[in-house]
Chains A and B, each alone.
Chain A
Amino acid sequence: MTQAATGAGTDLVAGYRPPVAGYDEMVDRTGVLRPHWAHVGHVLEGLGVDELGRRRTEAARLLDDDGVTYNVYGAARPTSRWNLDPVPVLLTSAEWSGIESAVVQRAELLNLILTDLYGPRDLLRRRLLPPELVLAHGGFLRACDQIRIPGGQQLFNVAADVARDSDGQFWVLADRAQTPSGAGYALQNRSVVSRVFPSLHRDAQVHRLAPFFRALRAGLEAVAPPSTREPRIVILSPGPLAETAFEHALLASRLGYSLVEGSDLTFRDGRIWVRSLARKEPVDVILRRVDSAFCDPLELRPDSQLGVPGLVEACRRGTVTVVNTLGSSVLENPGLLPFLPRLAQTLLGAELEMPSIPTWWCGEPAGLDHVLTNLEHLVLKPLTREAGAAAVFGWTLARHELDDVADRIGERPSAWVGQAQLALASVPTLTDAGLEARRSVLRTFCVARDDSYQAMTGGLTRVAASRQAVISSQTGALSKDTWVLASEPEKMTGLWLDSGRIVAAVEPGGSMSSRAAENLFWLGRYAERAEDTVRLMRVVHDRRNDFAHDTNPAGKACLRALLVALTEVTVTHPGFTPGGPDLDDPGPELESLALDDKRAGALAYSVRRLLDAAYTVRDQLSLDTWLVISGLHRELLDQPTLGRGTLGQVLNSLLALAGLGAESMVRDPGWRFMDAGRRIERGAQLAALLRSTMTTEHDAGTESLMLESVLTAAESIITYRRRYRSHAHLETMLDLLLLDPDNPRSLSHQLDLLLEDVRALPVASGGPRVSEAEKHALETSTILRLADTAVLARSQPGAASGDGDGGGRSRPELARFLGRVIDGLHATADAIADANFTEQLPQRSMLTPADPGAARASRNFL
């Protein structure tokens, strides 16, 4: 094989140089490919470094297109791309079955510990665990005591980070039991890598991931409260800014569950409900991605805005099942590691199959002694993972820093552990120069199944960001797909097959939270607002090119009027109205209106809001949407200055988004909200543009240019020219823009569609026959139907507004008419919001002191 590699003319594999003393996954100590890498190694060699670089770019593009992100805390930009090295890590069936058996055994052991700690606590009574090790851990939540979930396991899912040392022996580095993350990213990695290396993936006979996700679905149904027949399952997320928000949405859409936030849920009648459109839907199972302590502001952290007051009580009563069980992070305690071998003996009657990384708990004299005498060789970790209490690496510290750490440990020894540093095995990692050996860790995933656990075949491999770096997704680690090679080809299965009985379809809208509906409504409004703004900006830019250096007075007047219109339509006063910057140098203000995403009314602001709304409802949008979203980021939000093509590119993306809305979304209530938002916004923007430009009469030359500009901004100039073939004329323009039901840009068309939308929205039973929203839309539609464009186009002496410069004639009928239309559209929007979007009052915590004498000092809520 090495011969073949050399024969291919590159040194990709032959030139691969892992550390001499270490273990490498791909080659043995003599540099020869391990047998199970033969095929993949050969193919990689054949592709060569340049082609692999192209495949990596392809993978990055696919991830971008799918909108795969991992949010880094405190970053200036809210999202960053998920880092994937497309070269997979390979494991043989035999290697994998050893890992699988060990992590399943470990899940069983951790389950028994968890069950005991929130139950009888025999482990403390019998001193199998030192009581203070558990009692002093931040994850031990006393409020969650004695909560039991249905089924044999209290621990629903768990992840173990495993790695090899330099001898090839596997160790468990850490357990993740709070809300184990990464399974969704593993699925996404597989999807990308199998597209980037299609034939390699097919020929390598890789075990599939789908069975794990089927087990996850089956497990979630199995833990539902016993009286439930068809459990309603939701995924509870902290929201779109959470680190792994992408994964929450991915799981929701792949598994077919609703993605909710704490404020979407409410405790009532002894159980938990989703605040859905028009009515509440009961919830039976919550797959939680919010840390336990944040899940209930009443009984857990009172400052949490991510939880549901009453959730702990509902769990206690068994009317809802939360997994992982509230309080499960008590298992994320490195101090437990030294005790696991003995617990495995006592509880399972077996040896621990895979050892944990050597760990010493400082709460025991022997452990403390070992840690203090070996500080410079150890990783020193607080028991509880919290912000501000990070692990420190003894070998990176100066003498005085080591002394400081020794003092901190000495103050509260039981709060610390020391851990050995393993020389982790390396994996080939693609760099611009070729394959580089980097340290790696494999995250394995287990989910409860029957009376044991099912492991994902493979997992998420993470690789250090550089030769030296610590492995953490927060600090930019790369991820890799992990291939467990089947000894024979496996049957192709999807996530959906073999799921058994047919379940009743979820009623549309029933399971949609009112927050999701609200975000879709605003998605529609901001998308349309951005589109209308960008069209108007393009017209302004064109007119600047035509007339900025011209002496044509009509052209100059038209440009000025359009600049004023831009300010008025986007409500960004003073802008180009009196009191604003110099009209002769509009460049800086125009750039600000395009790019300032903090300025309400600016194009970038609308786009930012549109993206925020999209991230919040990402489980509702088609996958192609993320192609457009990443485009908008690139083309507008990441631009430091306004380039020549920027507006055109942004318009392109917005049109694509509109097209997806029209062509790729089911006409369910969610779509109706989005479309209603779009119609209201388009109608209101058009009316505002006409009000700003046409209610004051200009001289004939200016008027003609203005009419042409407005028709262009309203995307109706071609139709107008074809239909009227004459010079622009206000009355015919109003016919086309206001009254023509066949012009998809006309006001009348917007109102027709808006009426359809509001009639299709869900209504509460027993509500009025005609909803408030429909009433307002109908009234506005009637005003429009009764309008006479000849009357509207009439002018009379007197300026429409105080700043008129158009020779003192105005069109009061048109101004009044447009004002009524705008008011009617806004009233419709408000009525939709009132009826469907539950306005949540702010959440406050209160606490009565033991001695109310203290109360006088605490009139404010906490």
Chain B
Amino acid sequence: MTHYRVTHRTTYRYEEPVSASYGQMHLLPRTADGQTCHTTRVAIDPTPDDLRERIDYFGNRAAFYAIHSEHTSLTVTTTSDLAVNRGGLGLLDAPSWEEVRDRTASPAVDDGWEPIEFLLDSPLVAASPGLADYAGPSFAPGRPVLEALLDLAQRIHDDFDYEPGSTSVTTTVDDVLAARQGVCQDFAHLAIGCLRSLGLAARYVSGYLETTPPPGKEHLQGADVSHAWAALWIPGSGWVDVDPTNEHFVDDRYVTTAWGRDYADVPPLKGVIFTKGLEHDLEVVVDVVRLDDPG
């Protein structure tokens, strides 16, 4: 069991005064398998006229806010205390990826209908022959699905450059495949697109990665920022999270905030504002601090 305090501060500075601001955040970590969120505090400056939390379609915690006073900057800070205990992965040798594919294609009623959602195209990630081709070498006939998944994550890590600023929030997965560079959300989309193109159900997970490298371990890319990765549905056992940006399975160094079909379902913050300005500056500061067991 690992205890964390995650602080996430997003600041927008606007070119011109903003008369009203409406927003929705996916910044409140959900409680999920292997993770319990004890408390979350939300602070917004200027003080919002309206703030309400709810559970969204995917079971994530979402919050709505509205600000009616004129302002030129907006700061949203969330502070969450959580405990993470994901446990290990026990099925590296079985089943084969084709078995998973076939069971996903016609899921038993017991599996629920929900995984089908993650097999279909979504706003930013559509299956394509190009993605299936790229995934092919990892998914040799009969290969155990988790071995294949890890291999795909490693190849994405090797073949693509981590290049902040090379993509935007509306970049599609085909753009990323062509450009061979991107950031964590692009690599997550790429992995999801590869899996869906093979007939596997995959979802997008947003969250955090612990910042301090443990002694003797190399520094992880994507540290000090909010993070994103992919998860694969394995009928009968559940979701397996993998981080293509850092080429390994997700463990207790990761904190999950929310999941959806792709980034568009769970952006950390999205909003509508009224202003004459055309530009803004954005600054995001994230701290993931390991706490002593609070008992």
Contact = CB atoms under 8 A, between A and B. Distances in A.
A469 to B, nearest CB: 35
A841 B275 contact: yes
A851 B267 contact: no
Contact of A847 (B206, B267, B281): B267
A346 to B, nearest CB: 16
Interface string A393-407: 000000000000000
Contacts of A846: 12, 269-273, 280
A847 B270 contact: yes
Interface stretch (A74-82, A374-382, A471-479, A852-860): A852-860
B59 to A, nearest CB: 11
B292 interface: no
Given A268-B49, A298-B23, A856-B164, A131 B117 contact: yes
Contacts of A862: 169-170
B39 to A, nearest CB: 23
A240 interface: no
A848 B269 contact: yes
Given A270-B50, A841-B19, A850-B228, A861 B24 contact: no
B274 A851 contact: no
Contacts of B277: 844
A143 B57 contact: yes
A131 B116 contact: yes
Contacts of A142: 56-58, 265
Contacts of A317: 52
Nearest to B274: A841
Contact of B168 (A131, A842, A857): A857
A352 interface: no
B100 interface: no
Contacts of B112: 125
A309 B275 CA distance: 14
Interface string B40-69: 000000000110101011100000101010
A131 B170 CA distance: 27
B150 interface: no
Given A840-B274, A844-B273, A851 B227 contact: yes
A145 interface: yes
Given A848-B267, A850-B226, A852-B282, A843 B165 contact: no
B180 interface: no
A862 B169 CA distance: 9
B89 interface: no
B24 A298 contact: yes
A423 interface: no
Contacts of A269: 49-50
A16 to B, nearest CB: 52
Interface in B115-129: 116-117, 119-121
A611 B64 CA distance: 40
Contacts of B94: none
Contacts of B282: 848, 852, 855, 859
Contact of B268 (A270, A313, A840, A848): A848
A266 B50 CA distance: 13
B263 A850 contact: yes
Contact of B117 (A135, A316, A861): A135
B109 interface: yes
B66 A268 contact: yes
A851 B120 contact: no
A688 to B, nearest CB: 31
A860 B167 contact: no
B225 A852 contact: yes
Contacts of A843: 272-274
B12 A125 contact: no
Of A142, A299, A853, most buried by chain B (CB within 10 Å of CB) is: A853
A858 B120 CA distance: 28
B184 interface: yes
Query: Which bucket holds chain B's interface residue count?
Result: 35 or more
Contacts of A313: 52, 64
Contacts of B10: 848
Nearest to A118: B57
Given A132-B116, A145-B57, A851-B183, A859 B272 contact: no
A775 interface: no
A621 interface: no
Contact of B206 (A298, A309, A850, A855): A850
B124 to A, nearest CB: 11
Contacts of B170: 862
B54 A851 contact: no
A269 B52 CA distance: 12
Given A127-B109, A850-B226, A857 B120 contact: no
A263 to B, nearest CB: 10
B30 to A, nearest CB: 16
B276 A851 contact: no
A267 B22 contact: yes
B58 to A, nearest CB: 8
A310 B66 contact: yes
Contacts of A131: 113, 116-117
Given A142-B57, A145-B57, A857-B165, A844 B267 contact: no
Interface in A245-267: 266-267
B166 interface: yes
Interface in A308-350: 309-310, 313, 316-317
Interface in B1-56: 10, 12, 18-20, 22-24, 49-50, 52, 54, 56
Nearest to A415: B121
A850 B274 contact: no
Given A851-B225, A856-B164, A861 B284 contact: no
Given A136-B121, A298-B23, A854-B168, A861 B280 contact: yes
B268 A124 contact: no
A842 B50 CA distance: 22
B169 A853 contact: no
A538 interface: no
B113 A124 contact: yes
A135 B10 CA distance: 33
Nearest to B23: A298
Contact of B24 (A299, A841, A855): A299
A127 B106 CA distance: 11
Contact of B116 (A135, A143, A145): A135
B279 interface: yes
A841 B18 CA distance: 8
A716 to B, nearest CB: 45
A302 interface: yes
A302 B50 CA distance: 20
A859 B281 contact: yes
B168 A858 contact: yes
Contact of A851 (B24, B116, B184, B271): B184
Interface string B54-93: 1011100000101010000000000000000000000000
A854 B164 contact: yes
Interface string A646-688: 0000000000000000000000000000000000000000000
A857 to B, nearest CB: 5
A97 B172 CA distance: 53
A843 B272 CA distance: 7
B113 A121 contact: yes
Contacts of A136: 120-121
A211 interface: no
A857 B18 CA distance: 22
B211 interface: no
A845 B113 contact: no
B185 A854 contact: yes
A17 to B, nearest CB: 51
8 contacts: A143-B57, A298-B22, A298-B23, A298-B24, A302-B272, A848-B282, A850-B226, A851-B183
Given A266-B20, A844-B272, 15 more contacts: A132-B120, A135-B116, A135-B117, A142-B56, A268-B68, A298-B22, A302-B270, A841-B18, A846-B272, A849-B168, A849-B169, A853-B165, A854-B168, A857-B167, A862-B170
Can you list the 3 inter-chain pairs with the closest CB atoms, starting with the nearest? A853-B164, A852-B284, A309-B22
